[in-house]
Structure 1
Amino acid sequence: MADRRQYEVMFIIDSRLDDAAIQQAVDRYVGIVTSRGGEATKVDHWGRRKFAYEIDHLNEGYYVVADLQAEPSAIAELDRVLHLADELVRHKVVRPGKH
């Protein structure tokens, strides 16, 4: 736990999912970090927003931004899971001040 760093994660979930499924996905992603000793300091639900252009035949997505404190290994596992998640349209993990 000595090497915890600050991260910001944005993910866009397929807006065709209902609100319960979206919340379940968010809880699952945040749970990956917390189960490995990390902490979600803030989770902002931006809601459904239109895309500037079509992505994977979709015109809108459900945006979530989470501020996390975790070890790099926990974020690496989160990034791996996010790459494999079928319900995600896009995601991005950054370290504030480092992007």
Structure 2
Amino acid sequence: MFLNSYETIYILKPDVTDSTNLSFVNYYKSLLKEKGAQNIVIQHRGRRHLSYNIMHYYDGIYVQMNYQANGYLLKLLEKSMRLNDNIIRYLTVKQKIMNSIDIY
């Protein structure tokens, strides 16, 4: 089965504790592994000021996840994030894979 490369960034509410943040990271990492994702890399981007107000919050805690997965897994992940009250925004982008043909 062919896996696409994805990057998902989600923003947590600024009042989320470090332990809760870590539990979300571990939960999503285990979900990805359990459902067959590969090359999972998770980076904490820290607390940042939002460009605009989201749900009355001006700051958020950013977490970036890079992984390879199929579309079905992506739907499960995004549904889980949509139902999580501590996540105020998420975005997944499909990464283009560079082949040797693409390089001039």
The TM-score normalised by the length of structure 1 is 0.89
Count of residues in Structure 1 that have an aligned counterpart in Structure 2: 97
CA-CA distance at 1:28 after TM superposition = 1.1
Identify unmatched segments of 5+ residues in structure 1: none
1:89–1:5 CA distance, 2 compared to 1 (3 A): same
| Structure 1 partner of 2:72 | 73
Aligned with 1:95: secondary structure?
strand
CA-CA distance at 1:21 after TM superposition = 0.3
Aligned with 1:15: secondary structure?
coil
| Greater than 3 Å deviation, 4+ residue runs | none
| Structure 2 partner of 1:31 | 30
Whole-angstrom CA distance in 2 between matches of 1:96 and 1:65:
13
CA-CA distance at 1:65 after TM superposition = 0.8
Matches for 1:21-60 after TM superposition, within 5 Å:
21-60=20-59
Q: Which amino acid aligns with 1:84?
A: L
CA-CA distance at 1:66 after TM superposition = 0.7
Identify unmatched segments of 5+ residues in structure 2: 98-104
Confirm or deny: 8 A CA contact 2:5 2:96 kept in the other structure. no
The TM-score normalised by the length of structure 2 is 0.85
Q: Using the aligned pairs only, state the percent identity.
A: 25
